[in-house]
Amino acid sequence: MLKSAFPLLLAFLLASAAAAAQSPAKRSAPATPPAPPPGYVPIANVSPMGALTAPTVYVPKGWAGRSTIDIKPGGGCAGVTECATGEGANRFLCAYAKMAFDDPIVYPGKPGASHLHQFFGNTAVNAFTTADSIAAVGNSTCSGGIANRTGYWTPAMIDAAGQIVPPTTATIYYKSGYQMLPSLVRPLPTGLKMIAGDRTWSDVKQNQSRVWWTCTDRGPTYSSIVPDCGDRVLLVVVFPQCWDGKNLDSRDHKSHMSYPNYSNDANGSKCPSTHPVVVPEITEEFFWKVPPGERSSTWRISSDMDLSKPGGLSAHADWMMGWDPNVMKTVVTLCLDKSKDCQVNGVGNNTYLNPPPD
């Protein structure tokens, strides 16, 4: 009798063991990822590029931007006759929009192929953004709302603990150039793309008249690496203002543009004959606030591949045209070509581009 019951007993024991193995009380619970810090959102790190190695990256949540053109009457420089005469210039503000492992200029159509970028301006910029879509799709975090859907982006900042440092509002300058004859400046063409700086640089010789680090409260004035600041770290990137007049982009994303041949003579600087069309000189300024007790000299940017070198050597920035053509023409005609400093957000025709919220 025991012999005949043994198969039934064995089957029962095996079934009980299998049930126990599947019981929720017996299974190991999957690890719960830590909650993001306040004001941050998680994104998956799928990129093979840059200094970030964590599978999940917590990045600051950006602003959704405005969906309308936001131009107001008046302003600090109400009309072109009231603007200071000198270098033609405008300064516009752009709030931080988002971060992503995308670069539609260097890696078009390839999401996750780039190091981590922080984006300002057009909120819809991603790996699939084109010259046509950037001018027609997305909100804007810049002064004037979608009067300026241009995309501005640069590598993200990483602190010594591997956390992303939130950026503050960026300042974008459009100028006639300190030595450029202002009457030659032409509006930036629709579809233009540019990169300034060199993400492959690994020593301290990047041209400091075009790309440099500094602090808002103390020196050094020009640094090739992230300096030790008490208030805010500042990255300054100056773009070339001479266009070949034909190509809106090039294989290296630089050859269709050129910096002027600088000169101090009476005629000022000139564009080379290969790049005869003078466009506004664009300077992008990006800021990061230094928390109390932090050493910003221990920070690096997401494009720094050589972790044995000081942070910030690979500094660079991107620009992709998204201005409303009529607004861009007004800025050039009334401010830059008339050698008028139209101040912050001023357009020079008794209007100004309403800035983003603080």
Per DSSP (E only), the strands in 140-262 are: 151-155, 157-158, 164-165, 170-175, 193-197, 211-215, 232-238, 242-243, 257-258
Helix H or strand E encompassing 272? none
Residues 357/95, Cβ–Cβ less than 8 Å:
yes
C-alpha dist (Å) from residue 107 to 9, 101, 103, 111: 64, 10, 5, 8
Residue 138 burial (10 A CB sphere; 0-12, 13-18, 19+): buried
User: What's the pLDDT score for residue 49?
Assistant: 83
pTM: 0.87
φ and ψ of 347, to 5 deg: -110, -20
Q: Evaluate whether residue 23 is within a structural domain.
A: no
DSSP SS3 for 298: helix
User: What's the pLDDT score for residue 290?
Assistant: 97
Q: Evaluate whether residue 354 is within a structural domain.
A: no
CA distance 230 to 296: 8
Q: Evaluate whether residue 270 is within a structural domain.
A: yes
φ and ψ of 317, to 5 deg: -150, 160
User: What's the pLDDT score for residue 182?
Assistant: 63
| pLDDT by 10s per residue, the chain, length 358 | 434 443 443 343 344 444 444 444 333 444 455 677 889 999 999 888 888 888 899 999 999 999 999 999 976 565 555 677 778 899 999 999 999 999 999 999 999 999 999 999 999 999 999 999 999 999 999 999 999 999 999 999 999 999 999 999 999 999 998 656 667 899 999 999 999 998 877 665 667 779 999 999 987 889 999 999 999 999 999 999 999 999 999 999 999 999 998 766 556 678 999 999 999 999 999 999 999 999 999 999 999 988 888 999 999 999 999 999 999 999 999 999 888 888 899 988 889 999 999 8
Residues 140/121, Cβ–Cβ less than 8 Å:
yes
Q: Evaluate whether residue 187 is within a structural domain.
A: yes
Sign of CA dihedral 126, 132, 135, 137: negative
Q: Evaluate whether residue 329 is within a structural domain.
A: no
CA distance 322 to 191: 8
CA distance 336 to 333: 6
CA distance 256 to 275: 8
CA distance 215 to 299: 14
Q: Which domain holds residue 273?
A: 50-72+95-168+179-201+211-322
Q: Evaluate whether residue 334 is within a structural domain.
A: no
Q: Evaluate whether residue 286 is within a structural domain.
A: yes
CA distance 181 to 184: 6
Q: Evaluate whether residue 197 is within a structural domain.
A: yes
CA distance 122 to 311: 28
C-alpha dist (Å) from residue 82 to 85, 88, 347: 9, 13, 12
Residue 179 burial (10 A CB sphere; 0-12, 13-18, 19+): middle
Residue 177: which residues within 8 A CB-CB, separation 6 or more? 87, 185, 241, 260, 269, 278, 281
User: What's the pLDDT score for residue 6?
Assistant: 39
Q: Report how many domains make up the chain.
A: 1
Terminal C-alpha separation, the chain: 86
φ and ψ of 14, to 5 deg: -65, -40
